[in-house]
Amino acid sequence: MLRKFSSRCTALFLLVIAGFSYLSWRMIEIQYTNRKQYQQAAQNAGTTITYLPGNRGHILDCNDELIARSITLADLRINRYDLNDNNLCSKSLAWDELSTTPGWIDLSDSEKSKRMHKTMKRLIENESEILNSKFLTHAVSHLAIALRVKREDLMTKINSKPNDWFILERNMEESIYESVQKAIDTHKLFGFSLEKTARRRYASPELASHIIGYPKIIEVQHGKYTYKKEVGTYGVEKTLESILAGKDGHRTSVTNPRGFLITPEPGKTLPPRPGLNVQLTLDMEIQSIIEEELLAGIKEYQAPRGCIIVMNPKTGAVLGLANYPSFNLNDLNNLDTNGINFATQMVYEPGSTIKVVAAAAAMNEGAITRHTPIFCHNKLYQQGNFSMKDHHSYSTLSAEWVLGKSSNIGVFKMAMMVGMQKHYDYLASFGFGKKTGIPLSSEVNGRFTRSENLYDFASSTYGYAVSVTPMQMACAYSVIASDGKLRKPQLLKAVIANDGTAIQQMTPEVVREVIKPNTAREMRRSLLTVMQKEGTAVQANVPGYIACGKTGTVYKFNTETKKYFTNRFTCSFAGMLPAADPDFVCIVVIDDPSSTGVSLYGGTIAGPVFSRACERIAHHLNITPTETVEPRVVNQ
């Protein structure tokens, strides 16, 4: 019996020794072996990282007019779990009670901790049933002042939300959310927190929306922490994202054992950096003019779509680009129908505006001058099994009046003087069939084929069997309006630091020489005929100025029947001003007009829109008016 008792005592003793040995080993492991690991874990348990998104840079026009900027807004969020936590509620109420007592500020941390613990215990023991509602009343009384609302209205709003997590107030401006944050910090309002996000603001949200574009709010994940920031999604907001995007920062906050925030030590906060500012080539006054005139033309001629582009031919700078339909950058609900950029993302058959390619090629190759007589076969041209017609009967026209009268036969014969493949080479050299390189996403190529079929070739000389974008046409006419060189269209003028210093100034980018400078001058003189009384665009004349250009009228293609409509058109005008040495090129495209009071031609539909827009643009640019000359007949 004694032996059994002794064995049991020995076993119990060994068990106790083993237990103490394990505890001793764990203490050594925690305090010495893995001390840093456990210290870090303890610190992390009381650490909160707040990520601070860097605001996007500003967008300015060429005259330093502000187009877009980012501002910081905040949402006030509520966590009901914290609102119903007696421990947190008692902390807040105890703090509010004690922090206003005389001498509190002079107490040591340990004394404050003792008094806090005692007061919290009293509140929980004596007021547990009403503690949550008392805290909520306390919180609402302070937040209502910060939010500048009535307490009863705020309480009703909170009680009407059944969710455990919800947003109480959205998109608060800085003056409001700073007051709210001060109330939360001062009165320890657990369960209430702010989430800040940047929001883009536009000076004129309906202007240049297809160019400016917009960012979207995305949620960024960093470990267990998430935050929201703006990322460019469309327009230059997307293509210039690497320049505009800010550098995100972060703030590390540590809570003490009582749950209160400790001020971060130096180095614990990395301030966010705003993105760089960009200055565009756009002139917002010109943008406003062309959007107004485009809309007026769309309404007058009852068209569903249209586009105007204004470009500096000497630099490639896009001064304005207007599309209809368009959209408001503050309301993106109709993007599916209105978000397509007609100028760069849609193609059309250009009609007679493309005749300048055949004429310029023939002049540049020395096959003709602008005075060379071209026999136009009195409306009907035949060559074996091939035949083609003009809209009107012309006998012999000078080369410049082939353009003035817009003779299909005359232009076809010019192209034949150059040869099929060389004519196609000139189409490519003028920039057709390839993206212009404008810094906007989803630009399309357009298309033409190097067909040796005579019908296809003839069609390409007068604007059928060729698909182009308005931007390609603007670049092509800029070749004629300048020194014969094709330039890449520019939207970015400069990159500017936040202190106003220009970091990078963009320079014109020449793609290639297309025609000789003298050929370009002769082409401008030839295009003056289009504006004469006997030309096709007398209504495109600009009062007080001498402009030149070319009309385009083309039947629309029916994709269902695979034939051309007989009563639906795309009407366009491509021109420049002043004709002698153009300061700008202007392209007007009115797609599918249906006005019954006006003949549906490029000169009668797009021409007047060109005239009105260019007159206003010329005044804005302070271009010296020339003597007003009555349109006249020039010897053919």
Distance CA 438, CA 89 (A): 59
Q: Is residue 36 part of a domain?
A: no
What pLDDT score was predicted for residue 636? 39
Q: Do residues 135 and 192 lie in contact, with contact meaning Cβ atoms separated by under 8 Å? A: no
Strands 305-311 and 318-324: antiparallel
Q: Are residues 370 and 475 in the same domain?
A: yes
Which H or E run includes 248?
none
Q: Which residues of the chain have pLDDT under 50?
A: 38, 41, 44-45, 257-260, 262-266, 629, 631-636
Q: Is residue 141 part of a domain?
A: yes
Structure pTM? 0.84
What pLDDT score was predicted for residue 12? 63
Which token pair is 518?
A: 């003298």
Q: Is residue 430 part of a domain?
A: yes
3-class state of residue 297 by DSSP: helix
Q: Is residue 107 part of a domain?
A: yes
Distance CA 277, CA 273 (A): 12
What pLDDT score was predicted for residue 44? 47
Q: Are residues 249 and 149 in the same domain?
A: no
Provide the β-strand partners of residue 382: 387
Please say which residue of 201, 233, 265 terminates a domain: 201
What pLDDT score was predicted for residue 198? 82
Distance CA 475, CA 351 (A): 16
Domain tally, the chain = 3
Q: Are residues 189 and 291 in the same domain?
A: no
Q: Which one, of 349, 322, 327, 347, lies nearest residue 338 by Cα?
A: 327
3-class state of residue 306 by DSSP: strand
Which token pair is 282?
A: 């756009």
The four Cα atoms 406, 407, 411, 414 give a dihedral, to 10 degrees, of -120
Q: Is residue 455 part of a domain?
A: yes
CATH number at residue 272: 3.90.1310.10
Distance CA 47, CA 445 (A): 54
Please say which residue of 166, 201, 236 terminates a domain: 201
Q: Which one, of 344, 337, 302, lies nearest residue 322 by Cα?
A: 344
Q: Is residue 27 part of a domain?
A: no
According to DSSP H, which parts of 223-267 are helical? 236-239, 241-244
Please say which residue of 256, 280, 304 terminates a domain: 280
Q: Is residue 30 part of a domain?
A: no
Q: Which one, of 462, 303, 456, 457, lies nearest residue 391 by Cα?
A: 462
Q: Are residues 119 and 191 in the same domain?
A: yes
Give 505's Cβ-side CA count (13 Å radius).
Answer: 5
What pLDDT score was predicted for residue 14? 65
As to burial, measured by CB atoms within 10 angstroms (0-12 exposed, 13-18 middle, 19+ buried), residue 357 is buried
Distance CA 389, CA 382 (A): 9
Q: Which one, of 470, 494, 444, 405, lies nearest residue 606 by Cα?
A: 470
What pLDDT score was predicted for residue 629? 46
Q: Hey, how many other C-beta atoms are within 10 angstroms of the C-beta on 582? A: 26
CA 242 to the chain's CA centroid: 13
CA 136 to the chain's CA centroid: 44
CATH number at residue 607: 3.40.710.10
Which token pair is 488?
A: 């890449």
Q: Are residues 373 and 518 in the same domain?
A: yes
Distance CA 286, CA 616 (A): 8
What pLDDT score was predicted for residue 477? 99
Q: Is residue 26 part of a domain?
A: no
Q: Are residues 180 and 214 in the same domain?
A: no
Euclidean distance between the first and final Cα of the chain, in Å?
Answer: 140
Q: Are residues 186 and 258 in the same domain?
A: no
Distance CA 527, CA 196 (A): 58
Provide the β-strand partners of residue 150: none
Quickly tell me which residue has 């193609």 as its tokens: 347
Domain that holds residue 579: 284-329+342-620
Q: Are residues 264 and 361 in the same domain?
A: no
The four Cα atoms 285, 289, 294, 296 give a dihedral, to 10 degrees, of 140
Q: Are residues 241 and 159 in the same domain?
A: no
Q: Do residues 347 and 467 lie in contact, with contact meaning Cβ atoms separated by under 8 Å? A: yes
Q: Hey, how many other C-beta atoms are within 10 angstroms of the C-beta on 524? A: 19
Render 347-398 in DSSP notation, one character per residue. -B--GGGGHHHHHHHHHHTTS--TT-EEE-GGGEEEETTEEEE-SS--SEEE
Q: Are residues 187 and 263 in the same domain?
A: no
Q: Are residues 606 and 536 in the same domain?
A: yes
Q: Are residues 495 and 550 in the same domain?
A: yes
Query: What's the one-letter identity of residue 391?
Result: H
